Amino acid sequence: MLDKNGFDLWADGYDKMVGLSDEGNTYPFAGYRKILGSIYARIMEKPNPAVLDIGFGTGTLTAKLYENGCTIYGQDFSSGMMELASAKMPGAHLYQGDFSQGLVEPLKQNAYDFIVATYSIHHLTDSQKIILLKELLGHLKEGGRILIGDVAFESREELDKCRDRSGDEWDDEEIYCVADELKQVFPNLEFEKMTFCSGILTISG
């Protein structure tokens, strides 16, 4: 579950820990760079897009987009993460707020070409995810897309296999996306499996 203080303390070591898991191809961050690279490439196909990042963390993805001409908006609940990301993107429109409660007011005033959530919405319950995604769909420009990169699975069976494989490393407090179940609410959702424990979900506006 969301824990602002925990993430503030974790902020300085976050990127290193993620990198070790990615390089070792272990749960939960196997495929992390591959996922961020794929989302980056999709966004950069559009000239000068407006991008909203939900749970931007230290700005690993959005800083690259920012450097390459994207207009960046973001919401994160951690002041520690926000401080690190703001240093990388001084001209970005970043706001602190708990996204389990939806968008903060300033972000509701805009529409976006892309809304991204990388390794963030697994902190929400399944019902909270649906409520948030429905809200985000209402803030996409015509032809816009929501791109979710995370620990995610095509089916509940695949999730159970990963849980068994991960053993004691599995985090029971995180609630991962299951594409087949989300498709019941968002019929045009597409899922691209990236590793045994991760993938990219796309919802078009």
- Domain with 114 in it: what CATH number? 3.40.50.150
Confidence check: pLDDT of 174 > 80: yes
The whole-model pTM stands at: 0.90
Per-residue model confidence (pLDDT) at position 32: 87
Q: How many domains does the chain divide into? A: 1
Which residue from 62, 32, 36 is spatially nearest to 49, judged by alpha carbons? 62
Residue 164 falls inside a structural domain: yes
Reported as a pLDDT band with limits 50, 70 and 90, residue 9 is very low
Computed from CA positions of residues 54, 58, 63, 66, in that sequence, does the dihedral angle turn out positive or negative? positive
Question: What phi, psi does 108 have (nearest 5°)?
Answer: -75, -10
Q: How far, in Å, CA of 146 to CA of 119, rounded?
A: 14
- Domain housing 59: 4-13+29-204
Per-residue model confidence (pLDDT) at position 81: 85
- In tens, the pLDDT along 42-66 reads 999 999 999 999 999 889 899 999 9
Residue 22 falls inside a structural domain: no
Residue 148 falls inside a structural domain: yes
The answer to whether 72 and 78 are in contact (CB under 8 A) is no
For the chain, the residue count is: 205
Residue 18 falls inside a structural domain: no
Residue 129 falls inside a structural domain: yes
Residue 24 falls inside a structural domain: no
Q: In 136-145, which positions are buried (b, 16+ CB within 10 angstroms) versus exposed (e)?
A: beebbeeebb
Residue 52 falls inside a structural domain: yes
The rounded mean pLDDT for the chain is: 91
